Amino acid sequence: MYGKLPYFMIAFAAAMWGLIGFFVKGLNNAGFSAMEIVAIRVLTAAIILILVGIVFYRSHLKIRMKDLYLFVGTGILSIVFFNWSYFTAINLMNIPIAVALLYTSPAFVAVLSFLFLKESINRKKLLAIVMTVIGCTLAAGITGQGGMSFSVSSILIGLGAGFGYALYSIFGKIALRRYHPFTVTLYTFLVASVALVPTTGITSKAVVLFAGDAWLYAIGLGIFPTVVAYFAYSWGLERTESSTAAVVATLEPVIATMLGILVYGDRLGGLQMLGSALIIISVISINISIPSRKQKKHFTV
Q: 250 phi and psi, to 5 degrees?
A: -70, 0
Tell me the backbone φ, ψ of residue 270, rounded to 5 degrees: -60, -45
Per-residue pLDDT of 117-165, as tens digits, reads 676 777 776 777 777 677 766 655 544 444 456 777 888 998 898 888 8
- Please list the ranges in the chain whose pLDDT falls under 50: 142-147, 289-301
- The whole-angstrom separation of Cα 295 and Cα 292 is 9
- Cα 110 off chain centre by: 17
Write out pLDDT tens, residues 28-63: 889 898 889 989 989 999 999 999 999 999 999 999
SS3 content of the chain, % helix, strand, coil (to 5): 75, 0, 25
In angstroms, rounded to a whole number, what is the distance separating the alpha carbons of residues 113 and 75? 19
Q: What is the pLDDT, as a whole number, of residue 292?
A: 44
What is the structure's pLDDT at 146? Answer: 44
CA-to-CA separations, 5 to 11, 122, 224, 237, in angstroms, rounded: 10, 33, 19, 11
pLDDT at residue 295 in the model: 46
Average pLDDT, the chain: 78
Structure letter (DSSP) for residue 33: -
Half-sphere exposure of 103 (CA within 13 A, CB side): 40
Counting DSSP H helices and E strands in the chain, the numbers are 16, 0
The predicted pLDDT at position 193 comes to 92
The distance of Cα 193 from the centroid of its chain, to the nearest Å, equals 17
State the Cα–Cα distance between residues 158 and 140, nearest whole angstrom: 9
Beta-strand (E) ranges in 88-238?
Answer: none
- Calpha distance 18→90 (Å, rounded): 12
Please answer whether residues 214 and 30 qualify as being in contact, where contact means their C-beta atoms are separated by less than 8 angstroms.
yes
Residue 66 to residues 70, 113, 160, 188, 284, Cα–Cα distance (Å): 9, 23, 28, 15, 36
pLDDT for 238: 62
Check if the beta carbon of residue 38 is closer than 8 Å to that of residue 84: yes
Closest CA to 30 of 189, 217, 202: 217
DSSP structure class, residue 143: T
Exposed e or buried b per residue across 215-235, where buried means at least 16 C-beta atoms within 10 angstroms of its C-beta: bebbebbbbbbbbbbbebbbb
CA pair distance 251, 246, nearest whole angstrom: 10
* Positive/negative CA dihedral, 258, 256, 37, 159: negative
Q: Where are the alpha helices (H) located in 239-269, listed in sequence order?
A: 242-248, 251-262
